[in-house]
Amino acid sequence: MHKNIICDMLNIQYPILQGGMAWVATAELAAAVSNAGGLGVIGAGHMPADALQHEITKVKQWTKSPFGVNVMLRSPFVKEVIELLINERVPVVTTGAGNPGEYIDRFKAVNTKVIPVVASVALAKRLARLGVDALIAEGLESGGHVGEVTTMSLVPQVVDAVNIPVIAAGGIADARGFVAAFALGAQGVQIGTRFVASSECIAHENYKLAVLRAKERSTVLTGLSTGHPVRVIENQLSRQFELLEKSGADSNELDQLGAGKLRLAARDGDIRNGSVMIGQIAGMVNDIKPVNQIMNDIIKEIPNILKNVGCIQ
Ligand code: TUI
């Protein structure tokens, strides 16, 4: 594959970023993706800085290639995490669940590439003006905290609204999704769910099995009433959420029910009472493979998809 603008900017071989999934995207997964030529990303989630420091040290040991850290902007530790990322000169920072505007200049000063996740054109435009390097336009097909617009609709509208490269996320797990994203004007993809079902991912076996078992309609959105919709596999917990929301509970009560539940599912393997944050594309993910095989399968299949498109000429 010829290098493209994202490969050049991030100094990677393939324009494939791994989603920064909290409790799931640890140093193990990030190093594997970076070693396979993509950009591995540690999901900082709600980690305090000392725990994140530990993950960064491991990634630096396990790969000589660039990597990233995803900062969850609603984390109570966001300030100390930002300080750590600056001190560690982390090559790439992606952000989620908010507006990273106030941190951009400090990252730029140490040459860290800043790539926020956006779920709307309005935020995309604002952040492009503030000088971010690229944007991840994430559709509502994704797992976890999502926006309200599908990947198919969001990506071309963000591409048209800004003059920086756009990376598509949400519903991408194979070469067809990759090519579709590029057809929409994206110059890279971010993949989460497919990498959960990898040998290197340290998520609990039950969590991975939940991905393999999932069908296209196995996930639901909880938290719509609070303005923070989260996509999870429907289970005991998601039904409890639904009942609590219908009873008119406020966002504090809902946050309380949600606290610690991702860890419970992803690490302890309680996929009934925990939060299994997975995208709609899980219905298509039916096997656990090593990361380099996931990457190679995508890359080698791209020319075949393009041939398909070519027959229309
Ligand atoms: O952030 C994610 N996925 C996540 S975060 C998470 S933990 C969580 N934290 C708080 C509430 C619920 C769950 C689990 N999964 N993906 C990136 C993403 N960012 N999706 C949507 C957004 C987003 C939403 C609003 C980005 C910016 C934004 O802007 C708000 C503003 O201030 O304009």
pLDDT in tens, 269-298: 999 999 999 999 999 999 999 999 999 999
Q: How many CB atoms lie within 10 A of CB 51?
A: 13
Q: How many CB atoms lie within 10 A of CB 187?
A: 19
**Residue with CA at minimum distance from ligand 1 atom 30:** 98
Contact residues for 87 (Cβ-Cβ < 8 A; gap 6+): none
pLDDT in tens, 126-148: 999 999 999 999 999 999 999 99
* Superfamily in which the 5-202+285-308 domain is placed by CATH: Aldolase class I (3.20.20.70)
Answer whether residue 240 shows pLDDT above 90.
yes
The alpha carbon of 97 and the centre of ligand 1 are apart by a number of angstroms equal to 2
301: Cα separation from own chain's centroid: 22
CA 75 to each of CA 107, 114, 141, 274: distance values in angstroms, whole numbers, following the listed order:
18, 18, 23, 19
CB within 6 Å of ligand 1 — which residues?
22, 72, 74, 96-99, 117-119, 123, 138, 144-147, 228, 230, 277
The alpha carbon of 249 and the centre of ligand 1 are apart by a number of angstroms equal to 21
**Residue with CA at minimum distance from ligand 1 atom 23:** 97
- The fraction of the chain above a pLDDT of 90, given in percent, is 91
The alpha carbon of 55 and the centre of ligand 1 are apart by a number of angstroms equal to 22
The alpha carbon of 292 and the centre of ligand 1 are apart by a number of angstroms equal to 28
**Residue with CA at minimum distance from ligand 1 atom 22:** 97
* CB-based contact 266:204 (threshold 8 Å): yes
The residue ranges of every structural domain in the chain are 5-202+285-308, 214-281
Confidence band for 313, pLDDT divided at 50, 70 and 90 = low
| Phi and psi, residue 147, nearest 5° | -90, -155
Mean per-residue pLDDT over the chain, rounded: 96
